[in-house]
Amino acid sequence: MNIWKYLIAASLGNMIAGPLGALAFTAGAYFLGKKTNFRNPGANFNSNQGVYALGLVVLCAKLAKADGRVTDDEIRKFKKIFKIPQENMKQVGAIWKEAAQTSAGFEPYAQQLRDTFYRTPQMLEQVILGLFEIGYADHDLSAPELKYIKKVSQIFGIDQATFNRLRNSRPEFVKEDPYKVLGVSKSQTSAEIKKVYRNLARKNHPDIVRAKGITDKSLIQKAKENFQRINDAYEQILKIRGEK
């Protein structure tokens, strides 16, 4: 299922409540009168998918404002990174622009994501990874952008060690350090690191994403990539320590 096509459909059909639904409803007014039947998104619609997709778009749009520079390049960057289907470009763009233009802060939107996915923190971690991808896409992460992502992570209830691990989880973010990818230190014992690794692997398994009702292929792919990074980092640590 392509979750992006349900962004505006969900809000116009009153299927998503809270600040995210309200923002999407405003953006969706642009599409009223079009042929698309936004009030009938289908029996297979999962509101969590709508909340997740909306939250990702809105928080990334707010990130684009963090350093005071809002350009068309930002939305193009988002669409490319998250592989938005051509037929959904206008819907996603309308929500992005509404989020970037509104004077409301990002906090209510982040809180709604937290309230929806607090039982599956790996979903919230995927949002933070998405924000880092946008921030690092074509330049070094600016201080305001880093501050913004940090505040979002705090609302999500993400601790400092996990935040550091996420920040260092992609080679395109920083030069890879396998210890940082797992959020551990070189002074920890192999048994301690193995325990951390197993916990991360369990929490970040792609099946957890599917179990939450997220079926969009691009989001599942990102979950797989993050899971692979965790496995690769642990394998590298074992090699460094001569344990493999």
pLDDT at 174 over 60: no
Angle CA 49–5–204, to nearest 5: 30
Closest alpha carbon to 102 in 35, 177, 23: 23
Q: Is the pTM of this model over 0.85?
A: no
Q: How far apart are CA 38 and CA 8, in angstroms?
A: 7
The residue range of the domain holding 85 is 3-240
Helix axes 47-66, 72-81, angle to 10 degrees: 140
What is the arithmetic mean of pLDDT over 147-171? 90
Q: For residue 87, what pLDDT band results from cuts at 50, 70 and 90?
A: confident
Q: For residue 45, what pLDDT band results from cuts at 50, 70 and 90?
A: very low
Q: For residue 31, what pLDDT band results from cuts at 50, 70 and 90?
A: very low
Question: Phi then psi for 120, rounded to 5 degrees?
Answer: -130, 75
Closest alpha carbon to 156 in 195, 207, 199, 112: 112
Q: For residue 46, what pLDDT band results from cuts at 50, 70 and 90?
A: low
pLDDT at 86 over 80: yes
pLDDT at 135 over 90: no
Q: How far apart are CA 191 and CA 222, in angstroms?
A: 28
pLDDT in tens, 217-242: 877 888 888 888 899 889 888 877 88
User: How many domains does the structure of the chain reveal?
Assistant: 1
